[in-house]
Structure 1
Amino acid sequence: MNVQGLHHVAYRCRNAKLTAEFYKQYLNLDLTIAIAENKVPSTGEWSPHVHIFLKMQDGSYLAFFELPESPEMELDQNTPDWVQHLALKVPDMESLVTAKKRLIAGGVDVVGPTDHKVCQSIYFFDPNGHRMELTVDTIIPEMAEALLIQAQPLLEEWDKTKRAPDVAAFKTEKA
């Protein structure tokens, strides 16, 4: 199998129209597809819904379902809100800072930029309560190579201890 990339990622939304407007206003994502059905195509079950697709520059989509007859939307209460998020890539720091200013001007709370050493990111919540991240890559080839070399050994160590290893000792021992 040869996975070529992301076609779309789908989330539930409270209101499809307001969601499309938010992503157009703050992230300049265009609504390019809207499909409304009363039955789920894959299962045949009754569930009126609208499925909207917001196109990203690389041709992939951010998609949402509005489900008016389903119980009220809730997010996973057992997972911290910083864990489940969608990170969208922007080309440079200027774009990241511009997006932050636009979000703040619209009354959206924004955290960051946060320097992760491999990228810089800002974080905010969309109108549905989904945590979003905008990120710009800052990784250099040498760092990418070092991270690749230690990825599997780090995962093995984590699997045994369920704690982050001492980074300095880990690099010396494993790399």
Structure 2
Amino acid sequence: MTVNGLHHVAYRCRDAKETTEFYKKYVDLDLTIAVAENKVPSTGEWSPHVHIFLEMGDGSFLAFFELPESPDMQMDTNTPDWVQHLALKVADMETLEQYKKRLVDGGIEVVGPADHKICQSIYFFDPNGHRIELAVDTTTPEMARELGRRAKPMLDEWSKTKRAPDVDELMHSNARG
């Protein structure tokens, strides 16, 4: 038994039309499904909503709910802005730079590209306050093997100390391995 991939990830939005237009204009995602209901299918509770699905290149979806009768959206004030984000994969650095230019030209503040060794990324906020990352995978096969080998020991050490190791040559050196 295994999970085959992502079908969709869903977030709340303030305005479904504005959200759809933003993602089409800046990230090339098309609205392919919109479902409006007055009751929640899984619980039967009253909650008028529209559920929109924006299709990504691999056939998975970025989805949003607009809930006009619910209290205004609140972001988690105890979590820093940079923590909760959605990272979307792009093909290469040229594509990443093109998206950055499009966003900046549209008046959207963009951070990056940031070199994380495993990827190069830019960050921006959508009209709902969700942080979005566009990333180019730069992990080499050797780096992936080494990161995989170190994952459990790293987590075990973190669980004991709640601190990063003093030196992590793989992730913080100038050379890619």
TM-score, normalising length: structure 1: 0.95
Listed as ranges, the gaps of 5+ residues in structure 1 are 171-175
CA distance in 1, matches of 2:94, 2:169: 36
Q: Secondary structure at the match of 1:95?
A: helix
**How far did residue 2 of structure 1 move?**
1.2
Deviations 1:97-119 (A, max 9, x none): 00000000000000000000010
> 1:124: which partner in 2?
124
> 2:175: which partner in 1?
none
Alignment CA distance shift 1:67-1:168 (3 Å): closer
CA distance in 2, matches of 1:167, 1:118: 17
> 1:149: which partner in 2?
149
Following TM superposition, the consecutive aligned residue runs of length 4 or more in structure 1 with deviations greater than 3 angstroms are none
**How far did residue 167 of structure 1 move?**
2.8
CA distance in 1, matches of 2:108, 2:74: 20
CA distance in 2, matches of 1:80, 1:118: 22
TM-score, normalising length: structure 2: 0.94
> 2:173: which partner in 1?
none
Deviates more, 1:118-127 or 1:139-148: 139-148
CA distance in 1, matches of 2:26, 2:59: 19
Deviations 1:82-102 (A, max 9, x none): 000000000000000000000
**How far did residue 168 of structure 1 move?**
4.8
> 1:61: which partner in 2?
61
CA distance in 1, matches of 2:169, 2:53: 46
Q: Secondary structure at the match of 2:20?
A: helix
Alignment CA distance shift 1:85-1:17 (3 Å): same
Q: Secondary structure at the match of 1:101?
A: helix
AA paired with 1:17? K
Deviations 1:45-101 (A, max 9, x none): 000000000000000000000000000001111100100000000000000000000
- Say yes or no: does 1:93 pair with 2:93: yes
Identity %, equivalent residues = 75
- Say yes or no: does 1:138 pair with 2:144: no
